[in-house]
Amino acid sequence: MEIKRITFPDRHLVTDLFNKYRIFYKKPSDMKLAESFIADRLRNDESVIFLAFEGEEGAEIPIGFTQLYPKFSSGRAIKIWVLNDLYVEEGHRKKSVGNSLIKAALNYAKSDGVSLVELQTAVDNYTAQSLYESMGFVKQDADSEFLGYQIEV
């Protein structure tokens, strides 16, 4: 497995996974929307995407991704990265793919001079909660749908 940051020219590599991510969160499948959304984020430098690949160079298959968005805190006068999306193909779960993607995101945040990464997950996504907590994320507030986490990097 290899983790790479993708840019606008490689946006097509994450589109199918992004669509599956949305389906996981009970949104209708819409490849055109997925393509457009990812293209806009990357074209406008509004997010950072890391993609996990399996296979040999030239025959790499995307198996998971994470997407980060910048956020700013005026009170703290800091930049924060929000780990907004994390998705791993069903057949590749529980094989450290999610862990590797999160580590890549945290390393990127640290290299960008950011000291805090936030995320949210569904209150009933216990697998994700267990992963985040095992990596040192600290549980924050919750509402009826989502549970927040933070980690200092």
Average pLDDT value over all residues in the chain: 94
- What is 2-152's CATH superfamily? Gcn5-related N-acetyltransferase (GNAT) (3.40.630.30)
Of the pLDDT bands very low, low, confident and very high (cuts 50, 70, 90), residue 60 is confident
Asked whether the predicted pLDDT for residue 58 surpasses 80, the reply is no
Q: Where are the domains of the chain?
A: 2-152
pLDDT digits (tens, 9 = 90+) for 17-55: 999 999 999 999 999 999 999 999 999 999 999 999 998
Distances (CA, A) of 76 to 17, 109, 138, 148: 34, 17, 18, 18
Helix (H, G, I), strand (E, B) or coil at 26: coil
The pTM score is 0.92
103: left (phi over 0), alpha (psi -120 to 50) or beta: alpha
